[in-house]
């Protein structure tokens, strides 16, 4: 039996795309800010700081209050963050509504599923394991497993290859400008999910498809694949 997504790889971003991780990132960030005697931040503020890895989030948490940490200070805070976050990684973090069911449907239609994230590899594996999502993915590639993370397109290309797929038959799904740039750099169509952590508007992002609930993803992917196949024929 062949499925309509046979031979296609769907590459998912993690934070803000597959999983709503903001609640646990908030607790971990506030743990280090509080320990450093700094002001803590709220959920909405932390959401605007996710997408470039945890170190960038800590830096933004400090610049938010007019402070610039020294390299040594930042490394110390980052180390503390990693210990705390790793131990509290799936307290409040949950997959977005219907994501697991839709992933199963895509796999049943023949898609290869993979994750390309700017989260660290060990944290990504731990989170997806804790939520029971890890077995669905042929590859999970964190920022520290590649020479250059998103927005470098190479991060996506390596993810597709690690999943056993073909970058010419792959689609990126993500919640941020970083994902959009990475997809463009890798030459992949880009599906934007506006329920994540991007502050820019849907119009500004300029995605090939916008999916505001997982139930809309299968149809969006089918449409993009038909377009890709038609344009390949026209060449």
Residues with active-site annotation: 13
Regarding 53 and contact with ligand PGA (CB under 6 A), the answer is yes
Regarding 16 and contact with ligand PGA (CB under 6 A), the answer is yes
In the list ligand PGA, Mg ion, none, the entry touching 20 (Cβ below 5 to 8 angstroms by class) is: none
Candidate residues 117, 140, 160, 228; the one interacting with ligand PGA per rule CB under 6 A: 117
125 is in an annotated binding site: no
13 is in an annotated binding site: yes
Instruction: For ligand PGA, give the closer residue by CB, 30 or 117.
Output: 117
In the list ligand PGA, Mg ion, none, the entry touching 119 (Cβ below 5 to 8 angstroms by class) is: ligand PGA
Regarding 14 and contact with ligand PGA (CB under 6 A), the answer is yes
CB of 38 to Mg ion, least distance (A): 25
Nearest to 124 by CA among 162, 93, 158: 93
Please count the other Cβ atoms lying within 10 Å of the Cβ belonging to residue 162.
16
Contacts 24+ apart (CB under 8 A), 48-51: 48/197, 48/199, 50/15, 50/16, 50/21, 50/22, 50/25, 50/197, 51/15, 51/16, 51/118, 51/175, 51/176, 51/177, 51/178, 51/197, 51/198
Q: With contact defined as beta carbons under 8 Å apart, do 99 and 211 qualify?
A: no
Binding residues for Mg ion restricted to 4-23, rule: CB under 5 A? 13, 15-16
Instruction: For Mg ion, give the closer residue by CB, 170 or 182.
Output: 182
- Which class for 116: exposed (0-12), middle (13-18), buried (19 or more C-beta within 10 A)? buried
166 is in an annotated binding site: no
CA 102 to chain centre: 17
Regarding 153 and contact with ligand PGA (CB under 6 A), the answer is no
CB of 19 to Mg ion, least distance (A): 9
Strand order through the sheet with 190-192: 139-141, 112-116, 9-12, 170-174, 190-192, 209-210
In the list Mg ion, ligand PGA, none, the entry touching 53 (Cβ below 5 to 8 angstroms by class) is: ligand PGA
Half-sphere exposure of 182 (CA within 13 A, CB side): 34
In the list ligand PGA, Mg ion, none, the entry touching 117 (Cβ below 5 to 8 angstroms by class) is: ligand PGA
Binding residues for Mg(2+): 13, 15, 175
Binding site for ligand PGA (CB under 6 A): 13-16, 50-54, 57, 117-119
Binding site for Mg ion (CB under 5 A): 13, 15-16, 175-176
């Amino acid at each position: 039996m062949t499925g309509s997504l046979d031979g296609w790889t769907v590459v998912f971003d993690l934070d803000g795309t597959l999983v709503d991780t903001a609640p646990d990132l908030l607790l971990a960030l506030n743990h280090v800010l509080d320990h450093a005697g700094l002001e803590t931040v709220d959920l909405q503020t932390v959401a605007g700081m996710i997408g470039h890895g945890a170190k960038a989030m800590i830096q933004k948490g400090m610049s938010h209050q007019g402070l610039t940490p020294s390299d040594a200070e930042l490394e110390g805070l980052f180390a503390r963050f990693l210990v705390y976050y790793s131990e509290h990684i799936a307290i409040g973090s949950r997959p977005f509504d219907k994501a697991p069911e839709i992933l199963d449907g895509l796999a049943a239609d023949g898609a290869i599923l993979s994750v390309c994230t700017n989260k660290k590899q060990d944290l990504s594996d731990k989170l997806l394991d804790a939520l029971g999502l890890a077995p669905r993915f042929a590859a999970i590639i964190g920022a520290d497993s590649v020479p250059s993370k998103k927005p470098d397109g190479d991060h996506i290309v390596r993810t597709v290859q690690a999943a056993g797929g073909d970058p010419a038959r792959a689609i990126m799904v993500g919640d941020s400008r970083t994902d959009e740039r990475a997809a463009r750099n890798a030459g992949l169509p880009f599906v934007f999910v506006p329920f994540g952590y991007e502050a820019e508007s849907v119009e500004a992002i300029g995605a090939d498809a916008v999916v505001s609930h997982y139930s809309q993803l299968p149809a969006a992917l089918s449409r993009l694949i038909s377009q890709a196949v038609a344009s390949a024929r026209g060449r």
